[in-house]
Chains A and B, each alone.
Chain A
């Protein structure tokens, strides 16, 4: 029993642990501090929907200038879309000829011719550039970092100024667009522009050293510029023609998907830019300022929160350390207890083994006993089962017999009942008939009895009379008989008396005579 007690203490010690864990749970972080700095309107809006706080207050552009800016931008996008499709149209000009009309087709063919010449010139320039580059590699390398994104455009503007063409901002865009609108060439073109841009300063830098080469290149560049201007003009013409021809526009619109990847990306960027521009145009400077204030406020709060979180984390770490310490102590205790437990287990195992051995012995003996008994009982069971079987069979037979009898009797009874019912019915009918007859006859009888009574009275009277008469007659007869008898007696007596008297007289005489 010592083992059991040990086990109980063990469970008790283990049972403490959960409470410890409860203590170590991290307290909930403090709720966010109220921000007093926010102005009321903003706070209200924040409360309404924080995600929409930064959206513009209005949906429509109020000022006419802004509207104009927007319309120009949209126009630009439209044009660039058309331009970007140009190479495709030029390639499949035959297919579009009917839908686009003769004027537009002619313009496009012209455009195609200009385009091809531009290609040729550019290739020639490229070759020259390569040769040049092979010679002046170091100088190029040194120059390349100076190229800024604005650079080419600036040069372009210069070039265009030189060409004597007046450009509106939209014009610049469209031109740039036309340049990029040829995806197959755009890469090389840009490269060429870049090289052009770079080549010009370089040319001015190194005029003396490479004159022959530079002059040749300069020629080529000049012709290229001219062709570019022609291309520019042609593009403008095509676009104008398209604008006057809405049906052609519609036809083109279906083919937008045929654009190259770069052109598509470019147009997507443009659309994005349009959204940004719209946003800017919709927002007033005051609102901008407000928004900035709001953002600053937010960031300040964010900073505050970060500081708080840091502090909390430090606390948490301290708490975790405490907990770890405690856990370690507890673990020591547990280890000690486990050692105890192991010892106890060893003892208990011994004990168990001993007990098991004893129990095994006992079990074997019991088993033997029980088997003997079982066998005996089994035999008994078998015997009883056979007995039961016999009895069941017997009883079944009995039952069957009885059932049969019962059934027979039942049918008999039923038959009897039926017959009885029938009989009774018949008898009832008969009885009723007889009863009716009986009643009838009884009535008759009554009547007859009534009559009979009177008759009987009469009869009685008559009988009485008759009886009296008979009695009288009988009496008379009796009397007569008596008289007859009496007379006879007297007569007989008299006759014999007379005879004897006569004889006496004769005897007296005769006697006398005889003697």
Chain B
């Protein structure tokens, strides 16, 4: 089977692969090509790399890599090791389908199998890390069953999970 060297090589190759992916993602948003990105873009970069942290988690990560005097930009040198570590440790992975479903079931306190538009709006804007109006509309447009005028969250979850893979 695979020896120690082989495993190490494997790991190194994985790291190289990851770093390559990070660099790609970073470069995509390095509009001035000076190895820096806007702070507001970092969340997008992280999410593009397959992670789905919450806003609070994202905020923590930004704190780690930010300059001592906030410039509004994040440098690649700092971003790379942090991101490498996160990816290596597979943190902030998207939750599996069943967990996502259960979260919807929690919101559906009466267990009727769906959420009304009002309910979803209320939860998404008042609880947790509230959506802004744009985000909410986007979600509603994607999630609301056009026939029933409500969110059949079971179907919606399976669609999203399907799309994710």
Contact = CB atoms under 8 A, between A and B. Distances in A.
B128 A484 contact: yes
A437 interface: no
Interface in A469-515: 479-480, 482-501, 503
B163 A483 contact: no
Contacts of B123: 483, 487
Nearest to A501: B163
Given A491-B128, A491-B131, A497-B163, A483 B48 contact: no
Interface string A326-355: 000000000000000000000000000000
A497 B52 CA distance: 8
A500 B127 CA distance: 24
B94 A496 contact: yes
A495 B53 CA distance: 9
B103 A489 contact: yes
Nearest to A489: B103
B82 interface: no
Interface in B78-114: 94-95, 99-100, 102-104, 106-107, 109
A488 B129 contact: yes
A491 B102 CA distance: 14
Contacts of A490: 100, 103-104, 107, 124, 128
A493 B142 CA distance: 14
Most buried by A among B94, B128, B135, B163: B128
Given A484-B127, A487-B124, A500-B164, A495 B103 contact: no
B44 interface: yes
Contacts of B129: 487-488, 491-492
Contacts of B135: 494-495, 498
A486 B53 CA distance: 13
B54 A487 contact: no
B54 A486 contact: no
Contacts of B99: 489
B64 interface: no
Contacts of B53: 492
B52 A496 contact: yes
B47 interface: yes
A482 to B, nearest CB: 5
A495 B102 CA distance: 18
Q: What range describes how many residues of A lie at the interface? A: 20 to 34
A447 to B, nearest CB: 52
Contacts of A496: 47, 51-52, 94
A205 B55 CA distance: 233
A483 B53 CA distance: 17
Contacts of A480: 127
A486 B103 CA distance: 4
B138 interface: yes
B82 to A, nearest CB: 18
B139 interface: yes
B47 A487 contact: no
Contacts of A494: 135, 139, 160
Contacts of A484: 127-128
A489 B100 contact: yes
A491 B120 CA distance: 11
A482 B103 CA distance: 8
Contacts of A492: 52-55, 129
A477 B11 CA distance: 44
Interface string A132-155: 000000000000000000000000
Contact of A503 (B48, B95, B104, B124): B48
A497 B160 contact: yes
Contacts of B131: 491
A487 B128 contact: yes
Interface string B30-70: 00000000000001100110111111000000000000000
Contacts of B95: 489, 493
A483 B52 contact: no
A498 B160 CA distance: 10
Contact of B164 (A482, A491, A497, A503): A497
Interface string A384-422: 000000000000000000000000000000000000000
A479 B51 CA distance: 27
A484 B107 CA distance: 9
Nearest to A488: B128
Contacts of A498: 135, 138
A491 B107 CA distance: 13
Cβ-closest 10 pairs across A and B:
A486-B103, A487-B128, A496-B52, A488-B128, A499-B47, A496-B47, A486-B106, A487-B127, A489-B103, A492-B54
Interface of B: 43-44, 47-48, 50-55, 94-95, 99-100, 102-104, 106-107, 109, 123-124, 127-129, 131, 135, 138-139, 160, 163-164
Given A486-B106, A487-B128, A492-B55, 7 more contacts: A485-B106, A487-B124, A488-B54, A495-B52, A498-B138, A499-B47, A499-B48
10 contacts: A485-B106, A486-B128, A487-B107, A487-B127, A488-B127, A491-B124, A492-B55, A494-B160, A495-B47, A503-B48
